[in-house]
Amino acid sequence: MTKPIPLQRRNINASQLVLGCMRLGGDWNASSPITAEHYKEGHEALDAALEIGINMFDHADIYTAGKAERVFAKVLSERQGLREQIILQSKCGIRIGDGDHPHRFDFTADHILNSVDGILERLGTDYLDILLLHRPDPLVEPEDVASAIHKLKASGKVRHFGVSNMSHGQIRLLQAYSDEPFIVNQLEMSLHKIGFLDTAVSVNQEAWRSNVFPEGTMEYCRLENVQLQSWGPLAQGRYSGGSLEGQSQSVVQTAAMVAELAEKHGTTREAVVLAWLMTHPSGIQPVIGTINPQRIRACKDAATLRLSREDWYRLYVASRGVSLP
């Protein structure tokens, strides 16, 4: 029997795979119109996701300048009763630079509250299942965040809260001021971005000094039942058919090993790459960022594919390019 992931242990009926909606709506130019083709892409991506059992969808207010949420809203509106069957997650806190204003992060209460109102309007829904704070704001006042969270929860606009790209220390600071638990932390983790593992195996090793992944974050999230989500889990296709021109020898060797395991298990390379990530005992939720229906369907076997410890380590060591300490 598959071990439930942290969200499921909180009685949130989430699939282990999440469809990331960052590419819906075309380019990131706010003035570019949403076209019929964009809506068609949205329908096809949603069909493919539902077909393989995905019921959770990840957004952010900045994705394609808000167009991703609008496309999803239109597609969702044409499927009666589906809103209550899926889990919608979005993010706020990044402000794109414009004119005299720099690219910046903003966790002020006013910005969070206004952002959620905008998200709900664009998604055409009156509530979010989960809101994530997108990137750490160094000027954060945790009392301000707690105030916004209290208002959003009391109003019914947001049911659950989480963060993205944060260390356990940053989560603990926010949590100290909020009665609502932070139940998600979304970080870049994949067979290519292996810092989350190297942090553990490099303790008391010189190599640890150059690892940017925050030490102790994996352990904190496991102890506190925080759902770890992975953005970029397919590693931009490096190991599942993407061009290997100019790639390092370790990437080439890892890609060959993924192909070998896919053939061995009678599945796709995408499934192997995701299954490797999902083998980690923390119950990682990969957020697949493609809206290509064929690639989405190629992920189908990921949740049921079982890699041996030996094959898991073979892939990890191959990706490292050097032996373990």
Burial profile 39-66: b = 16 or more Cβ within 10 angstroms, e = fewer: bebbebbbebbbebebbbbbbbbbbbbb
H/E segment holding residue 208: none
Half-sphere exposure of 268 (CA within 13 A, CB side): 17
pLDDT of residue 1: 44
Q: Let me know if 11 is exposed, middle or buried by CB neighbors in 10 A (0-12, 13-18, 19+).
A: exposed
Which architecture characterizes domain 6-243+281-291 according to CATH? Alpha-Beta Barrel (3.20)
Are the CB atoms for 120 and 157 separated by under 8 Å? yes
DSSP state of 28: S
pTM of the model: 0.95
φ/ψ region of 217 (left if φ > 0, alpha if ψ in -120 to 50, else beta) reads alpha
Predicted local confidence at residue 208, as pLDDT: 58
pLDDT by residue for the chain (325 residues), tens only, comes to 478 999 999 999 999 999 999 999 999 998 999 999 999 999 999 999 999 999 999 999 999 999 999 999 999 999 999 999 999 999 999 998 887 888 899 999 999 999 999 999 999 999 999 999 999 999 999 999 999 999 999 999 999 999 999 999 999 999 999 999 999 999 999 999 999 999 988 877 776 566 788 889 999 999 999 999 999 999 999 999 999 999 999 999 999 999 999 999 999 999 999 999 999 999 999 999 999 999 999 999 999 999 999 999 999 999 999 998 8
Q: How is the chain split into domains, by residue range? A: 6-243+281-291
The greatest distance separating any two alpha carbons of the chain, rounded to the nearest whole angstrom, comes to 57
What does the pLDDT read at residue 204? 75
| Amino acid occupying residue 190 | S
Contacts of 91 (CB under 8 A, 6+ apart): 59, 60, 61, 131, 132, 133, 134, 164
Q: Measure the CA–CA gap between 140 and 105, rounded to whole angstroms.
A: 9
Can you tell me whether residue 131 is helix, strand or coil?
strand
